Structure 1
Amino acid sequence: MSVQIRSLTRRAPNASRKMLDGVSLTIEDGAFVALVGPSGAGKTTLLRTIAGLDGPYEGTVLVDGRVLAGRPMRERRIGFVFQNYALFRHMTVARNISFGLDVLPRGERPDRGAIAARVAELLELIQLPTLGGAYPDQLSGGQRQRVALARALATKPGLLLLDEPFGALDPIVRRQIRRWLRGLHDQLGLTTVLVTHDHDEALEVADRLVVMQNGRVVQEAAAETLDAAPATPFVMEFLGEALEFPGQVAHGRFLPDDPNVLSFAVGAGDGPATAYLRPHEARLVAAGGAARAIPLTGGQGGLRRLAVALGTREVEILVLPERLGQVGTEGLGLDIGRARLFRDGAPLAGAPPVASGQELPRVTVG
């Protein structure tokens, strides 16, 4: 099922602010999309509006080309998984899963045998075939999450909406469940929309990320595009650790305010600008500054973490272990030639930056 959202605006109950502010978004049939952003960005409000759980609103929500407003929930073919699972504690796992089928109007409700067969099918699908007679309190968090997903799938929805479904799980179980969920999405051919504030989670399971801030869609794209060409500094910083270096563009070069950070060539007009880059994209250069490298414990992806004292402040970077032996720890310059440049909160137009100084192979972490 596809989803088209056009100029969607929803106000808070007291009408003092907009919870959604002119959101337009298209979700293709069969896509797995993650809505990401900080708390209060409007992610859950958008999800609930798609489901028809919230209102009123201005704008249009179309599912498979049809307007949802005024249509009963049972006709929408939408499955919804809440953050707290919302399982009925007094019902067995099997009864929880069959609930959506049990409450269908008599003319649409399958017979008992068909419902039992559907429950057995779903118990196999969620890998809990022997737990139909158990109660939610007897299950682990990961098992309860899978039961909530099975209940949402019981009526064979074409669209699955997930509101922070892994928030209560420990990290190991979270990784297991989200890998399982991605496999389930592919197996069933669903259209899935996931709300999460965890960008690592979104990167692992989703085809496309929709970054939200203050009730608006800031940028939507594949993860690789968001990282390579973020639309705003917020997107850059939200999707991972980022280093920030203010400075000026003059005569075709970016000149950082800190003299221990090396300038690099750009094809942009003169004026103030700010450079952002990931810690693993910075390079230490043996000459060209008075910076000092201070080894720290820990690292990431085979890279070593260093504190670089620039004089007025310290920044932490990630480097190949052998690199520190090549350049030493004193009299260093910091090469930020792989940075993305912004001016007034927007990407700075111009040629891609050219890395300066001594090169290292580019290493992607995470």
Structure 2
Amino acid sequence: MSVQIRSLTRHAPKASRKLLNDVSLTIEDGAFVALVGPSGAGKTTLLRTIAGLDGPYEGSVLVDGQVLAGRPMRERRIGFVFQNYALFRHMTVARNISFGLDVLPRGARPDRGTIAARVAELLELIQLPTLGGAYPDQLSGGQRQRVALARALATKPGLLLLDEPFGALDPIVRRQIRRWLRGLHDQLGLTTVLVTHDHEEALEVADRLVVMQDGRIVQDAAAETLDAAPATPFVMEFLGEALAFAGRVTHGRFLPDDPNVLSFPVGAGDGPATALLRPHEVRLVAAGGTAHATPLAGGQGGLRRLAVALGAREVEILVLPERLGAAGTEGLGLDIGRARLFRDGVPLAGALVAPAGHALPRVTGVG
């Protein structure tokens, strides 16, 4: 099922504040899209509006080209998994899963044998075939999450909406469940929309990330595009640890304000600018300045974490161990030629420069 959202605006009840502000979004049939952003960005409000759980609103929401407003929930073919699972504690796992089928109007409700077969099929699908008679309180968090997903899938929806479904799980179980969920999405041919504030989680399972801030969509792109060409400094900083260096573009070069940071060529016009880059994209240059580096505990992906003192400021970077050895720890300069440049929050065209030797393996989970 596809989703088309056009100029969607929703106000907070009894307030002039906009929860969603002129949001437009297209989700293709079979896509797995993650809505990401900080708390209060509008992610859950957008998800609930797609599901028809919230309103009223201005604009339009179409699923497979049809307007949802006014249509009963049972006709929408949408499965929704809440953050707290919302399982009925007094019902068995089997009854929880069959609930959506049990409450269908008599004319649309399958017979008991068909419902029982569907429950058994879903128990196999979520890898809990023997737990139909158990109660939610007897299950682990990961098992309850799977039951919530099975209940959402019982009516064979074409669109699956997930609101922070992994938040209550420990890290190991979270990784297992989200990989399983991605496989389930591909197996069933679903269209899936996931709300999460965890960008790593979104990167692992989604085809596209829709970054939201203050009720608006800031950028909608694949992870590689978001990292290489973020639309705003907020996108850059939300998706991982980032270092910022102020300076100016003059005659085709970015000149940092800090004398320990090396200039580099850009294709942008003259004026003030800010360079942002990841800690693993910084290179240490011997005899390039007066900075000095101190090794720190921890690292990422085989890289060494260093604290680099730049006079009144200290930054933490990640470097290959052999590069640290070649540069030493005193009289250093910082080469930031992999930076993305922004002016007044807008990316500067032609500012991303990749000099030879700057390529480093992509590191996630640093921030």
TM-score (norm 2): 0.97
State whether residues 263 and 356 of structure 1, in contact with CA within 8 Å, keep that contact through their aligned partners in structure 2. no
State whether residues 34 and 209 of structure 2, in contact with CA within 8 Å, keep that contact through their aligned partners in structure 1. yes
Deviation at 1:351, TM superposition (A): 5.1
Deviation at 1:359, TM superposition (A): 7.8
Distance 1:137 1:266, change over 3 A: same
Distance 1:362 1:201, change over 3 A: closer
**Structure 1: 4+ residue segments shifted above 4 A:** 356-366
Deviation at 1:15, TM superposition (A): 2.7
Deviation at 1:358, TM superposition (A): 8.1
Deviation at 1:203, TM superposition (A): 0.2
1:159-170 superposed matches below 5 A: 159-170=159-170
Distance 1:73 1:91, change over 3 A: same
CA displacement, residues 63-101 of structure 1 (integer Å, 9 cap, x when unaligned): 000000000000000000000000000000000000000
CA RMSD of aligned residues (A): 1.5
Q: Secondary structure at the match of 1:122?
A: helix
Deviation at 1:318, TM superposition (A): 0.4
Q: Secondary structure at the match of 1:56?
A: coil
CA displacement, residues 113-154 of structure 1 (integer Å, 9 cap, x when unaligned): 000000000000000000000000000000000000000000
State whether residues 342 and 348 of structure 1, in contact with CA within 8 Å, keep that contact through their aligned partners in structure 2. yes
1:149-164 superposed matches below 5 A: 149-164=149-164
Quote the Cα distance in structure 1 between the aligned partners of 2:362 and 2:49. 42
Q: Secondary structure at the match of 1:290?
A: strand
CA displacement, residues 203-259 of structure 1 (integer Å, 9 cap, x when unaligned): 000000000000000000000000000000000000000000011111110011100
Quote the Cα distance in structure 1 between the aligned partners of 2:339 and 2:352. 9
Q: Secondary structure at the match of 2:289?
A: coil
State whether residues 300 and 363 of structure 2, in contact with CA within 8 Å, keep that contact through their aligned partners in structure 1. no
Quote the Cα distance in structure 2 between the aligned partners of 1:237 and 1:359. 20
State whether residues 337 and 356 of structure 1, in contact with CA within 8 Å, keep that contact through their aligned partners in structure 2. no
Quote the Cα distance in structure 2 between the aligned partners of 1:251 and 1:51. 52
Q: Secondary structure at the match of 1:288?
A: strand
Distance 1:309 1:6, change over 3 A: same
- Look up the match of 2:78: 78
Deviation at 1:354, TM superposition (A): 4.6
1:1-366 superposed matches below 5 A: 1-350=1-350, 352-355=352-355
* Alignment length (residue pairs): 366
Quote the Cα distance in structure 2 between the aligned partners of 1:129 and 1:171. 25
Deviation at 1:14, TM superposition (A): 1.3
Q: Give me the identity figure in percent.
A: 90
TM-score (norm 1): 0.98
State whether residues 253 and 265 of structure 2, in contact with CA within 8 Å, keep that contact through their aligned partners in structure 1. yes
State whether residues 265 and 353 of structure 2, in contact with CA within 8 Å, keep that contact through their aligned partners in structure 1. yes
CA displacement, residues 21-77 of structure 1 (integer Å, 9 cap, x when unaligned): 000000000000000000000000000000000000000000000000000000000
State whether residues 264 and 355 of structure 1, in contact with CA within 8 Å, keep that contact through their aligned partners in structure 2. no
Unaligned 5+ segments in structure 1 are none
Distance 1:273 1:124, change over 3 A: same
State whether residues 283 and 359 of structure 1, in contact with CA within 8 Å, keep that contact through their aligned partners in structure 2. no
Quote the Cα distance in structure 2 between the aligned partners of 1:354 and 1:208. 25
CA displacement, residues 319-357 of structure 1 (integer Å, 9 cap, x when unaligned): 011111111000010000000000000001235325389
Unaligned 5+ segments in structure 2 are none
Quote the Cα distance in structure 2 between the aligned partners of 1:325 and 1:103. 68
Distance 1:200 1:351, change over 3 A: closer
Quote the Cα distance in structure 1 between the aligned partners of 2:362 and 2:85. 42
Quote the Cα distance in structure 2 between the aligned partners of 1:249 and 1:142. 52
Deviation at 1:169, TM superposition (A): 0.4
Quote the Cα distance in structure 2 between the aligned partners of 1:231 and 1:206. 19
State whether residues 266 and 354 of structure 1, in contact with CA within 8 Å, keep that contact through their aligned partners in structure 2. no
Q: Secondary structure at the match of 1:104?
A: coil
Distance 1:202 1:363, change over 3 A: closer
Quote the Cα distance in structure 2 between the aligned partners of 1:99 and 1:193. 22
State whether residues 36 and 212 of structure 1, in contact with CA within 8 Å, keep that contact through their aligned partners in structure 2. yes
Q: Secondary structure at the match of 1:272?
A: strand
Quote the Cα distance in structure 1 between the aligned partners of 2:303 and 2:296. 11
Deviation at 1:300, TM superposition (A): 0.3
State whether residues 10 and 18 of structure 2, in contact with CA within 8 Å, keep that contact through their aligned partners in structure 1. yes
State whether residues 336 and 355 of structure 1, in contact with CA within 8 Å, keep that contact through their aligned partners in structure 2. no
Distance 1:128 1:330, change over 3 A: same
Distance 1:329 1:358, change over 3 A: farther
